[in-house]
């Protein structure tokens, strides 16, 4: 800052200052040594303008830049006194009066700058020796109370019939907000204003004017007040002021997603509160719905933002009146249909669920008489969607459902603690008694499953099949492929509640019993015609589970135990399997990367890895044909969900192939696979690819990595860095970061090893 330039507009005032304190040293005005600002006296008794005092303090800003030392300390003292004793309010009041008579804009600008930036200036100058009053957390609340005082004076003078401008105060407020100190200043300002505007219309008008003149209003909305208070404080600001309208309708809702739910409720409630503002509520809802129903937004925006938009939609809906819904029914309906399509199309369960909840809510709101959209999905994980303090009575159905489910699960928990003192035994085996006897031989099972319908026998067979296969290894091997074929094509002839699980377990058991032929059969079927996506995914799941089973060291006597436990990777419809998969990888990464404390490992049973010799049969046929589309199956096109599953499965297969001979070749192939697909638009596929990279880094020996694929690794690293930085999906970013960490570890390990 150049002193000259800074001082120039103050020439006029300098004379007045000179009268107060003549210059003593060469630097010029103002004087520090011995100078003291006399509270009250300076402007009342001495007839000196408070502005002058302020200018002196303003001048210090210049002074600070040139000469620290004794003068500095003195100046700070004066400043402290000035601030402590109401100088700021006097100053602002003075400017407000001046402003009414058109004062110099430059002067105002400088004053504004100094008032707001005082804490910054002082802390820059004083570093550790700053006075507490100048710390932002103390200064800005003080400034808030000072502003109230100025407003008080202005209101008095308005009542007295004198004209006054409030714009300087607005500017101060706006600038403070721009500097990010809205929380501190509003914490004192808002309660006072809330109180004062309760019954006084002059105060209300002042308040509206105050906010209207604030240049960047977004921060004002974050005050966290209830809708009615907002309405009182802000009036019809959004209607009058284009900028405010933009902030509310666009900036707050569509261009960011960080506001807490309560704030969304307040702001939208504010829009709904007055009839003159309701058209904005509808406009907002239209825009939200447009975004919600846009397939590009669903695909490319982060989950958090979609959650935010869904919340806003639900809140808007709860505010809409029936008449308004009537007039926009068709429009809403179209949006729901479009949005539903792209949400259900998504590979991420959270997005699908979110879409379903919103669609259910809208449908229940717009269809007063007709059928209501209803999904048979449990909405358990979406409790977070709910605005916590829901003060609105008519809330979306989805939300209510969640509440109910929540309440029910809670009460159930309590029930178990409050009954008799006897602890019940496990009664899960208490099922309906079946009269028919289950078959005793594998061949009989095939006959029952393929033969004519005998409902009870069929069910009994399904229930006993897994155990039979595990017990009769030799008999199973004779018919393994045939059995796998039967099971793969098996349809649920009658309802059994865990049919999918039983079928999967049986298939896994067959694969484990006779790995090579069955794996060959399954992998060949994965790429053949005439299978549903469900069946193809079943194949993937079975291969992954069987690989796990085979690679798990198993004590001879304990085989039964392991099959009783629920498998690590439980891939059933509805369960989010990718989470489990990732958990395995995550755990592995965790165990590799950070070792703060040594955990003594549980003594493991030693056994040969049975997966070792057959891993190739599982892996290579799967990775071969992914880029050759069939009439019914196009992995690179519409069936990207299966592609995502395939990527995850390949990652798992390689992960379980750790320490096997084939691992290196598998890793190389997998890296090529990843490289070919790395820019896939679907985040689920990208997550799968990133898991593949993790598996590769973990399973392939590091010397082989260096020998075979060092160049690819370097390229991959660049890609990972890119993903970690730019990917819209949070999970992708996290996975990429973990991969980078793994690479870093690999590097340090190599450096540490003697070459």
Partner 1 sequence: MIATMALPPPDPEFVLRGTAAPVHTLHFSCRSQEPEFPILFSGSANGLVQIWNLKTHRVDKTLDGHGGKSVYWVETIRGRDELLSQGRDQKICLWDLAEGRSMVTDSVSMDSVGFCRCSLLKMAQDRWLIAMPADDPDEVQVLELPSKTSVCTLKPEAGAKLGMPMCLKLWQPGFGACPFLMAGYEDGSVILWNLSMGKMLSRLACHQEPVMSLDFDSEKAKGVSGSSEKVLSVWSLDEQQNLKVHKTHELINSGISDVTIRQDRKILATAGWDYRIRIFGWKKMKPLAVLDFHTATVHCVSFSDHSRPSERLLAAGSKDHRISIWSLYNQT
Q: Which residues bind partner 1 (CB under 8 A)?
A: 413, 416, 419-420, 422-433
CB 495, min distance to partner 1, A: 17
Residue among 11 and 432 whose Cβ is closer to partner 1:
432
Residue among 33 and 565 whose Cβ is closer to partner 1:
565
CB 447, min distance to partner 1, A: 26
Cα within 13 Å of Cα(503), Cβ side: 25
CB 457, min distance to partner 1, A: 19
Q: What is the DSSP string of 408-467?
A: HHHHHHHHHHHS-SSPPPP-TT--PPP-SPPPSSHHHHHHHHHSS--HHHHHHHHHHHHH
CB 464, min distance to partner 1, A: 16
Do 270 and 222 form a contact (C-beta atoms < 8 A)? Answer: no
Residue among 419 and 711 whose Cβ is closer to partner 1:
419
CB 414, min distance to partner 1, A: 11
Residue among 423 and 710 whose Cβ is closer to partner 1:
423
Eight-state DSSP code of residue 25: S
Rounded Cα distance, 27 and 408, in Å: 78
Q: Is 369 helix (H, G, I), strand (E, B) or coil?
A: coil
CB 554, min distance to partner 1, A: 22
Q: What is the DSSP string of 641-708?
A: HHHHHHHHHHHHHHHHTTTSTTHHHHHHHHHHHHHHHTT-S-HHHHHHHHHHHHHHHHHS-HHHHHHH
Rounded Cα distance, 90 and 51, in Å: 8
CB 412, min distance to partner 1, A: 8
Residue among 413 and 753 whose Cβ is closer to partner 1:
413
- Of 417, 494, 482, give the one whose Cα is nearest residue 453: 494
Rounded Cα distance, 727 and 378, in Å: 30
CB 423, min distance to partner 1, A: 7
- How much helix, strand and coil, in percent to the nearest 5, is found in the chain? 70, 0, 30
Cα within 13 Å of Cα(618), Cβ side: 36
CB 566, min distance to partner 1, A: 9
- Of 48, 45, 57, 42, give the one whose Cα is nearest residue 15: 48
CB 357, min distance to partner 1, A: 24
For residues 344, 345, 348 and 351, what is the CA-based torsion angle, rounded to 10 degrees? Answer: -40
DSSP H or E segment with residue 748:
helix 730-752
Rounded Cα distance, 589 and 89, in Å: 59
CB 413, min distance to partner 1, A: 8
DSSP H or E segment with residue 20:
helix 11-20
CB 290, min distance to partner 1, A: 42
Residue among 323 and 413 whose Cβ is closer to partner 1:
413
- Buried b vs exposed e over 64-75: b needs ≥16 C-beta within 10 Å? beeeeeebbebb
CB 432, min distance to partner 1, A: 6
Residue among 564 and 606 whose Cβ is closer to partner 1:
564
Residue among 413 and 602 whose Cβ is closer to partner 1:
413
- Of 508, 503, 476, give the one whose Cα is nearest residue 491: 503
Tell me the Cα Rg of the chain.
36
Q: What is the DSSP string of 526-590?
A: HTSSS--HHHHHHHHHHHHHHHHHHHS---GGGHHHHHHSPPSS---TTS-HHHHHHHHHHHHHH
CB 434, min distance to partner 1, A: 10
Cα within 13 Å of Cα(526), Cβ side: 28
Number of residues that make up the chain: 755
- Helix and strand totals (H; E) in the chain: 34, 0
Residue among 420 and 711 whose Cβ is closer to partner 1:
420
């Amino acid at each position: 800052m150049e002193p000259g330039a800074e001082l120039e507009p103050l020439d006029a005032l300098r004379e007045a200052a000179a009268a107060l304190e003549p210059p003593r040293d060469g630097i010029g005005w103002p004087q520090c040594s011995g100078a003291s600002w006399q509270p009250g006296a300076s402007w009342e008794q001495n007839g000196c303008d408070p502005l002058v005092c302020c200018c002196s303090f303003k001048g210090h800003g210049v002074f600070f830049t040139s000469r620290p030392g004794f003068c500095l300390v003195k100046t700070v003292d004066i400043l402290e006194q000035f601030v402590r004793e109401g100088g700021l309010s006097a100053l602002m009041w003075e400017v407000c009066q001046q402003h009414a008579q058109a004062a110099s804009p430059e002067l105002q600008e400088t004053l504004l700058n100094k008032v707001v930036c005082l804490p910054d200036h002082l802390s820059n100058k004083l570093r550790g020796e700053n006075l507490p009053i100048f710390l932002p957390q103390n200064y800005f609340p003080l400034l808030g109370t000072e502003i109230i005082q100025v407003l008080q004076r202005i209101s008095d003078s308005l009542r007295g019939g004198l004209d006054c401008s409030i714009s300087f105060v607005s500017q101060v407020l706006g600038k403070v907000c721009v500097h990010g100190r809205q929380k501190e200043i509003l914490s004192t300002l808002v309660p006072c204003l809330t109180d004062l505007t309760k019954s006084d219309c002059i105060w209300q008008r002042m308040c509206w004017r105050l906010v209207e003149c604030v240049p960047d209003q977004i921060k004002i909305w974050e005050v966290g007040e209830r809708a009615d208070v907002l309405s009182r404080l802000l009036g019809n600001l959004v209607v009058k002021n284009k900028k405010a309208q933009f902030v509310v309708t666009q900036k707050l809702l569509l261009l960011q997603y960080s506001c807490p739910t309560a704030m969304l409720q307040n702001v939208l409630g504010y829009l709904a509160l007055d009839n003159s503002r309701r058209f904005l509520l509808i406009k907002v809802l239209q825009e939200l719905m447009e975004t919600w129903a846009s397939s590009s937004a669903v695909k490319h925006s982060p989950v958090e933002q979609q959650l935010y938009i869904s919340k806003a939609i639900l809140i808007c809906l709860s505010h809409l009146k029936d008449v308004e819904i009537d007039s926009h029914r068709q429009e809403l309906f179209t949006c729901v249909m479009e949005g539903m399509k792209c949400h259900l199309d998504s590979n991420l369960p959270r997005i699908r669920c979110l879409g379903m909840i919103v669609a259910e809510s809208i449908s229940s709101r717009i269809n007063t008489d007709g059928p209501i959209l209803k999904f048979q999905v449990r909405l358990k994980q979406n409790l977070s969607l709910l605005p916590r303090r829901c003060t609105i009575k008519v809330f979306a159905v989805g939300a209510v459902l969640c509440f109910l489910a929540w309440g029910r699960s809670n009460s159930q928990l309590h029930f178990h603690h409050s009954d008799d003192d006897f602890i019940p035994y496990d009664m899960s085996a208490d099922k309906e008694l079946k009269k028919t006897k289950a078959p005793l031989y594998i061949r009989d099972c095939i006959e029952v499953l393929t033969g004519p319908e005998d409902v009870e026998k069929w069910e009994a067979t399904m229930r006993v099949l897994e155990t039979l296969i595990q017990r009769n290894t030799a008999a199973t091997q004779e018919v393994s492929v045939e059995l796998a074929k039967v099971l793969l094509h098996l349809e649920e002839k009658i309802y059994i509640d865990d049919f999918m699980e039983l079928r999967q377990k049986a298939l896994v058991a067959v694969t484990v019993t006779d790995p090579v032929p069955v794996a060959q059969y399954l992998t060949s079927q994965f790429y053949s015609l005439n299978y549903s996506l469900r069946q193809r995914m079943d194949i993937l799941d079975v291969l992954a589970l069987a690989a796990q089973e085979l690679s798990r060291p198993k004590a001879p006597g304990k085989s039964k135990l392991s099959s009783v436990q629920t498998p690590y990777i439980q891939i059933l419809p509805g369960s989010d399997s990718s989470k489990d998969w990732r958990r395995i990888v995550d755990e592995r990464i965790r165990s590799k990367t950070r070792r703060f404390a040594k955990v003594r490992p549980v003594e493991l049973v030693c056994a040969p890895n049975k997966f070792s010799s057959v891993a190739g049969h599982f892996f290579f046929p799967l990775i071969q044909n992914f880029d050759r589309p069939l009439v019914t199956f196009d992995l690179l096109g519409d069936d990207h969900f299966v592609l995502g599953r395939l990527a995850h499965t390949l990652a798992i297969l390689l992960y379980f192939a750790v320490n096997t001979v084939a691992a290196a070749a598998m890793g190389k192939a997998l890296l090529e696979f990843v490289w070919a697909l790395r820019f896939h638009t679907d985040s689920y596929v990208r997550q799968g690819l990133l898991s593949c990279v993790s598996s590769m880094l973990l399973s392939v020996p590091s010397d082989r990595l260096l020998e075979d694929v060092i160049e690819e690794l370097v390229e991959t690293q660049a890609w990972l860095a890119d993903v970690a930085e730019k990917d819209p999906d949070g999970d992708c970013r996290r996975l990429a970061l973990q991969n980078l960490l793994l690479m870093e570890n690999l590097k340090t390990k190599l450096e540490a090893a003697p070459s």
